[in-house]
Amino acid sequence: MDKIRVVGGKALTGSIPISGAKNAALPLMIASLLTDETLTLENLPRLRDVQLLFQILSNHGVDHSIQGKRNGQDEMSGQTVDLSARAIVDTTAPYELVSRMRASFWVIGPLLARMGEARVSLPGGCAIGTRPVDFFIQGLKALGAEIDIERGYAVARAPAGGLIGNRVVFPKVSVGATHTIMMAAALARGETVIENAAREPEVADVARCLVAMGARIEGAGTSTIHIEGVPRLGGARHRVLPDRIETGTYAMAVAMAGGDVVLEGASADLLEAPLETLRQAGAEIDVLNHGIRVRRNGHGIHAVSITTEPYPGFPTDLQAQLMALMTRAKGTSTITETIFENRFMHVQELARLGADIHLDGQTATINGVSTLKGAPVMATDLRASVSLVIAGLAAEGETEVHRVYHLDRGFERLEDKLTRCGAEIERISA
């Protein structure tokens, strides 16, 4: 099993290209099920989750082809992929595939809307707490679907004539449920109103793609989304927006290691709360026409405290990275996690590097230390794994991060991007 070796103490200088957003890429790929025409996605990241979703969609009959590399294109640029679901050959998403990635459960919406039926395994994914699919099921039932849970599968059937628009109110904000109901409602008869919808930029990006395919959607990116169903959707060409979580991760890596790095293609508008937190911590952030410049000189890191919240608040997907940064801050900081109940599994691993962190329920108190020291550590989930890399960049000596397959789910060529900025980091294959 691969591991990543980091030797700390190297400042980061140069530029890092920001990949397309994983959290938009996956639902955009799933949207290909809604039409029998070709959906072309540009800037699609090369990730393990993307490759797995290709397999899942192929099981339903979706063909994909990766367009050739253009002359002068950076080797780290996103890929352009054609997805064609001319004929849906199977409306079952089996356990052996869905259990490996939670987002694959979202196929239930497009399959139900287009084919009138779907049989989808209940999902798996990162072990960061329960993330029930109740909201998905309640939302689809509001659109007229009959859904039963049978032997670990959600078995759904649309009424004769297809799904019917309705008012859907989520009791709690859910990005996945918002994606799923929005896609299903695009082909429903009549108007659907989603209330307490997720406001994440990725939701708005998927809506823009659906509109390009012929959907009628207003309000995506706000808490209320209006969808007027249409009989069919066509093909489209859409560019995946830049990954705000990858952007924030590398920004925190620069704040941790010191240096001066331009995050090429990043959009500051997508992560205002994390960038403001970094400014408070002592990093200099400049918004450029082509990205974001992050700098930190020899001055220390200031302690800051945050609470994770749905967008536009501080994202849970950057909580572990900020905690790694705060281990070296001057003073005491607190991080309160409100989104997932089991997302502090990286605390024990950071402690192996010398971090001083205390947990009280969903709040972590971090007392900054003057020195971290390299040690073997174990990745427990996607975001926790990259927090250990960030800590390793500033630790004395060598840090080995094990079980890095988690990293490949959400970060495209992380070690290559950091190496080109001067980090001493390498992947070691077992």
Please give the C-alpha separations between residue 301 and each of 132, 148, 283, 388, in angstroms, as whole numbers.
38, 53, 8, 18
**Residue from 113, 353, 67, 362 nearest 231 by CA:** 113
**Residues 6 or more apart from 322 whose CB is under 8 A from it?**
252, 274, 277, 304, 306, 314, 335
Q: Decide the pairing of beta strands 117-121 and 92-93.
A: parallel
* 23 annotated ligand binder: yes
172 is in an annotated binding site: yes
Selection from 297, 315, 299, 362 nearest residue 334 by Cα: 362
Q: How distant, in Å, are the alpha carbons of 59, 140, 149, 162 from that of 94?
A: 9, 20, 14, 24
The answer to whether the annotation marks 141 as part of a ligand binding site is no
**Spatial strand order in the sheet of 306-307:** 306-307, 332-336, 363-367, 356-360
Per the CB < 8 A criterion, the answer to whether 46 and 413 are in contact is: yes
What does DSSP assign to residue 317? G
To the question of whether residue 22 is assigned a binding role by annotation, the answer is: yes
Is 373 known to sit in a ligand binding site? Answer: no
Question: Choosing from 126, 257, 320, 382, which is the catalytic residue?
Answer: 126
* CA separation for the pair 385, 301 (Å, rounded): 22
Angle at 249 between CA 183 and CA 353, to 5 degrees: 130
Give, as one character, the DSSP assignment of residue 69. P
Token look-up 């967008």 returns: 311
Distance of alpha carbon 425 from alpha carbon 430, whole angstroms: 16
- Interatomic CA distance for residues 211 and 221, integer angstroms: 14
**Six token digits for residue 127:** 């072990």
User: Binding residue per annotation — 174?
Assistant: yes
Can 126 be counted among the known catalytic residues?
yes
> Measuring CA to CA, how many Å separate 233 from each of 38, 236, 314?
11, 9, 35
Can you tell me whether residue 97 is helix, strand or coil? helix
Q: Which residues are part of a known binding site?
A: 22-23, 102, 172-175, 317, 339
- Residues noted as catalytic: 126
Q: Which residues are part of a known binding site for phosphoenolpyruvate?
A: 22-23
Q: Which residues are part of a known binding site for UDP-N-acetyl-alpha-D-glucosamine?
A: 102, 172-175, 317, 339
